[in-house]
Amino acid sequence: MNNHVTVLEIDGKALEHNLHHFKKKLKPTTKILAVVKAFSYGSDDVLVAQFLQDKIDYFAVAYAHEGVALREATIQKPILVLHPQIANLQTVIDYCLEPNLYSFEILNAFLQMAKENSLTAYPVHLKFNTGLNRLGFLPSDVPKIIDELRGNQHVKIQSLFSHLVASEDLNESVFTHRQIESFKNIVQEFDAFLTYKPILHISNTSGTINYPEAQFDMVRIGIGLYGFGNDAIETSQLKNTHNLVSIISQIHEIEPGNSVGYNRAFISTKKTRSATIPIGHADGISRALGNAKGFVTINHQKAPILGNVCMDMIMVDVTNIDCKEGDTAIIFNHQKTIQELADAAGTITYEILTGISHRVKKVLKD
């Protein structure tokens, strides 16, 4: 049982609002893949998937064990594993997960395993590198892939896909259109070989927003589900899904000249009230947010962090805030606050969200 008093509340109504926001941008036939990797961007993948499974067409996770967790939670929708490893391919098969085959090494390993398991038309996904240079076959690999798959009855290409490099940056639109055209050329080569039509997808959240012509058959919505559109105007139309809250454990009166926390990073120059909150860098509060760079909100007022962030606690300045032990401390409950904390830590909102530790209790409120 997780009885940590620091809780991440996942807002189901906000999730649904954000999903419908993107659905309105799509053609009626366009499928939606919900990205729930990394514990659904720091929340809870099982809770989010259970909430969304009758509202979307596909799920995506990064690694096989994430897909296993969803299957064990009775999630029945197709699950694409974006970065499977050869060592986990039997697990992928055992749990009816669908692997992304991104290199000849993993393609041949899976073909061999499919043969050994006597599989027929097992769904696999082929990813192509059109510019990100992270994972994926090269466009020039298509003829060899076709040769490898010719006559093979053990697998079926469920989808062909790629990933946009800078879909949020309209200054890179020339590069993005080049990626889209490259993907179209890849698809044409497969059309001449296949007797069926695989699902085609290249758009992430920002691609869905900025490049409606690249919807193809499906879009992958990740950060957009959780309230961020990688654009201030778009984000303002979305709702925040992550509400991280805690309490005041203790309040101290700090006399002038006394210090707070490790290494005496804060030394009071005047009488100060310090409140201790049970959340620290082991829970996802970056040490970069110490020394007044970060804050929590108590009774509608900002309380800056005093001194260094500890592993399990932070101390905040409540000198001018009317509060008592046991009062609620809001770490964040709005995109604006999450963005402020990301800016203060010199990072991006993705890292603030995904950095929330698994030991923080998660609840979904719908």
Residue pair 230/237 in contact (Cβ under 8 Å)? The answer is no
Residues belonging to the active site? 37, 262
Which residue carries 């961020």 as its tokens?
A: 228
Tell me the C-alpha distance between 171 and 19, whole Å.
27
For 38: left if phi > 0, alpha if psi spans -120 to 50, otherwise beta; the answer is left
Closest C-alpha among 158, 189, 222 to residue 353: 222
**Amino acid letter, residue 4:** H
Tell me the C-alpha distance between 344 and 95, whole Å.
42
Tell me the C-alpha distance between 32 and 96, whole Å.
20
Closest C-alpha among 32, 31, 26 to residue 213: 26
Closest C-alpha among 145, 146, 89, 144 to residue 122: 89
Instruction: Please state the three-class secondary structure of 195-213 as a single string.
Output: CCCCEEECCCHHHHHHCHH
Tell me the C-alpha distance between 238 and 245, whole Å.
21
- Number of C-alpha atoms within 13 angstroms, CB side, residue 357? 17
